[in-house]
A and B are shown apart, each in its own frame.
Chain A
Amino acid sequence: MRIALIESRDPGELMDAMRYLDDCQCPLWIGSQDDREFDASRLNGIAELADQESAFDVVWLEGDPEKRIDHLQQLAQLEKPIVVPFPPVASLGEWEQLQSVDQIVVSFPYRAQPYLQSIGERLHSGELGKPGLLRIHHWTEWREEHEPFSVLHELGAQIDAACWLFGDRPQTLYAVNVPAEGRVKFGLQLHLGFADGGMALLDGLVMDQVQPYSMITLIGSKGAAYADDHHNMNLMLADRTEAIRVEQQQECWRRIWQDVVDQTEGTQLREFDKVADLYRVLDAVERSYREQKVAEWQGDHYELV
């Protein structure tokens, strides 16, 4: 599988992770990293990519979701699978514009995190029983590109993960902002209720000059799974004691590429409706915290109650 990378934040890391798969390589890339050189040909734009159609099999499109719609519409002309990480575009309206573009595959990089993969595998194999409660803390370090903040960017992947683990959209949700004050640049607390009594609390936080932190707990009817950076850090004792993270990102990308290979070789390229559902959830979350009301699923839309 030959993958062309477009607008990747770190093409080197992505290409490096391809080494783990026998049948995966990157012959072409398009990006704005001026000084970087990789073992792949650099192209200047999508028009140039079209001229090299025989040199790649799949396109991986990153960049700002707010600006992807144009790229996706251009790439649609190539008739090759286009893999785009969730969220693929800025809104449900934009996504609906792409309904006829059959070759789009949505990838879920957050689901590919090794800890989440392990939890998902154990849950979906039935070992943990019926999911009852999910708690996620997802704290990230503030970067300029975070702004303007949105639910889509800061908690979209975690909302997707909750839906993936419970196997459905939430029936009810309630969102509350954490005040942006001091180092806290953005904070959103989301409470989800799923059919049959399932529940989730998702905590998205952006803090200035604070290292990222992640925790997931899944409580099932037969067992529970706990993944916590608190447990997965080592100590460095030098001038001062410091907790240090063990690298997991390469494994994450290996899984993403494996998924890209599996999905684009399969017959089902994407699940349009499921992605559309996620946008509806995200929209309801925005409305819930702005109006300070609970949102309930009413058969085809969320209603504030």
Chain B
Amino acid sequence: MNSSEKQPIRVAVLSVVKHDYVPHGMFSHERFQPVVVADDADQPDWVHERNQKLADQYDVPYVRDVEQAIVDYQPQVAVISSEAERHCDLSVRAANAGLHVVQDKPMSTSLSECDRVVEAVARNQVKFMMWNRNFLPALVQAKQLVSTGRIGRVLAVHVDFYFAKDAGPPVGSRSPDQPPAAWLDALIAAHVTGADGGVGKVPMGELEVEGIYPLAYVHCLTGARVKRVFARTNSHFHQLHSDHDVDDLATITLECEEGMLATLCLGRIGNASHPDIGEIKLHLVGTEGALVISEARPEVAVYYRGQPELEFPHLRIANQNDWHLADQFLATIEGRAESPLDALASRDICATVHAAMESGKSGRLMKPQPAPDRS
């Protein structure tokens, strides 16, 4: 029997206020079938509007009661893309109802919330996957080269992860007599450009919003745990970030187990800084050689008269990241594989991000907070 002849996996989308690419990505796989979109009734109108839009797209009901939707539609998987501060609560509720969980990044704005998810997932014996980019073709190639020993034991991984997107007016554009822009309003408005990864009540810097991706690369390529962190962070570009004292540019040094080293450069560096989404590269150093990997490759360059200013002229091709993530999660649910980014690994990434943010503020070396011992 091939996979398409098997029973579909019933999916509830629990809040989809920012990245609808997460549910779209899951539904690119034939086994995952949307059955309901749900959220809490007390959410504001803009949340309900976005949830309703996705429900309409898939022609499924939108229910303003998460627990009732789970009872009525019997989903097996929850896909969650709410505001970051609500991610973990929805994940815990889904796990407690026996659902496997696919969650958008960042895991949470609070490490204790991440710990709740780790505990709930373990206690309920369900599976968890944090959405990531580890199945982009260049990453798959890098992983193959590393796992087949082509560069020997990995000694260092360096990741550049820049998004060439704006986030409102530049630093210095607000006069002293003007009030700072409201974070939530600005991020709600940024939804049309897709630059709303930090949407929510709690302001978040780029490191907190996007740090999961490069750290997931390091995790996927080495599995090494981080021991110490040194970081520099700054609000270098955007008034919004400066007003709310969160970063839009960061450099991080990570000292890992067994002497392995990793570094990250990360930022929301503005539309003008790159013709495409941004320079995203990996440099790996091993005992037998090194790798220089461009995350965007393979790509096709397309230029034409009247090309919209914000259209990326370089098109990524042969990209099946979404399908592979969904397929891997299916294998995880069926007990044939490990989750590409499970709850504990996601929680540890969040701990590393928090240690980096603290180091950026204090100028000191920091240790990521370990997960609570549950033995």
Contacts and interface: CB of A to CB of B under 8 A. Distances in A.
B274 A224 contact: yes
Given A205-B285, A221-B236, A135 B294 contact: no
Contacts of A215: 283, 292
Interface stretch (B5-13, B78-86, B108-116, B251-259): B251-259
Contacts of A137: 158, 283
B198 to A, nearest CB: 19
Contacts of B234: 132, 197-199
* Tier of interface size on chain B: 35 or more
Interface string B267-302: 101101110000101010111111010100000000
Contact of A207 (B232, B235, B290): B290
Interface stretch (B21-29, B50-58, B92-100, B148-156): B148-156
A205 B279 CA distance: 22
Interface stretch (A6-14, A20-28, A29-37, A183-191): A183-191
Nearest to A172: B363
A184 B251 CA distance: 24
A63 B153 CA distance: 36
B160 interface: yes
Interface stretch (A75-83, A173-181, A255-263): A173-181
Nearest to B152: A182
A176 B160 contact: no
A229 B236 CA distance: 27
- Residues of B contacting A: mostly: strand
A230 interface: yes
A205 B158 CA distance: 13
A187 B249 CA distance: 25
Contacts of B267: 132-133, 219
Interface residues on A, range: 35 or more
A226 interface: yes
A201 interface: yes
A38 interface: no
B232 A135 contact: no
Contacts, number: 134
A299 to B, nearest CB: 16
Given A183-B287, A217-B279, A135 B171 contact: no
A219 B156 contact: no
Contacts of A174: 230, 253, 365
Given A189-B261, A203-B263, A226-B279, A176 B236 contact: no
B37 interface: no
A200 to B, nearest CB: 7
A184 B285 contact: yes
A196 to B, nearest CB: 8
Nearest to A193: B232
A294 interface: yes
B155 A181 contact: yes
Contacts of B164: 224
Nearest to B283: A137
Contacts of B183: none
A260 B267 CA distance: 38
B212 interface: no
Contact of A184 (B155, B250, B273, B294): B155
Given A133-B249, A183-B287, A197-B236, A217 B265 contact: yes
A139 B287 contact: no
B231 to A, nearest CB: 8
Contacts of B273: 219, 223-224
A293 B289 CA distance: 29
B266 to A, nearest CB: 9
Contact of B155 (A187, A191, A201, A210): A187
Contact of A178 (B155, B270, B294): B155
B20 to A, nearest CB: 29
A172 B361 CA distance: 13
B286 A182 contact: yes
Nearest to B265: A135
Contacts of A219: 162, 236, 249, 265, 267, 269, 273
B201 interface: no
B289 A200 contact: no
Contacts of A200: 251
A294 B158 contact: no
A155 B156 CA distance: 17
B237 interface: yes
Contacts of A213: 290, 292
Interface in B190-248: 230, 232, 234-237
Given A178-B261, A191-B263, A222-B270, 20 more contacts: A178-B285, A179-B259, A182-B288, A183-B152, A184-B285, A189-B263, A191-B253, A197-B235, A199-B234, A199-B250, A201-B265, A205-B285, A207-B290, A210-B289, A213-B290, A219-B249, A221-B270, A223-B270, A228-B281, A230-B294
Q: Which 8 A-B pairs have the closest CB atoms?
A: A182-B287, A197-B234, A199-B232, A224-B273, A132-B236, A199-B251, A179-B259, A174-B230
Interface of B: 152-153, 155-156, 158, 160, 162, 164, 170-171, 230, 232, 234-237, 249-251, 253, 255, 259, 261, 263, 265, 267, 269-270, 272-274, 279, 281, 283, 285-290, 292, 294, 363-365
24 contacts: A133-B251, A176-B253, A182-B286, A184-B155, A191-B253, A197-B232, A197-B249, A201-B251, A201-B253, A203-B156, A207-B290, A213-B292, A219-B267, A219-B269, A219-B273, A223-B270, A226-B279, A228-B281, A229-B292, A230-B281, A294-B230, A294-B363, A294-B364, A305-B364
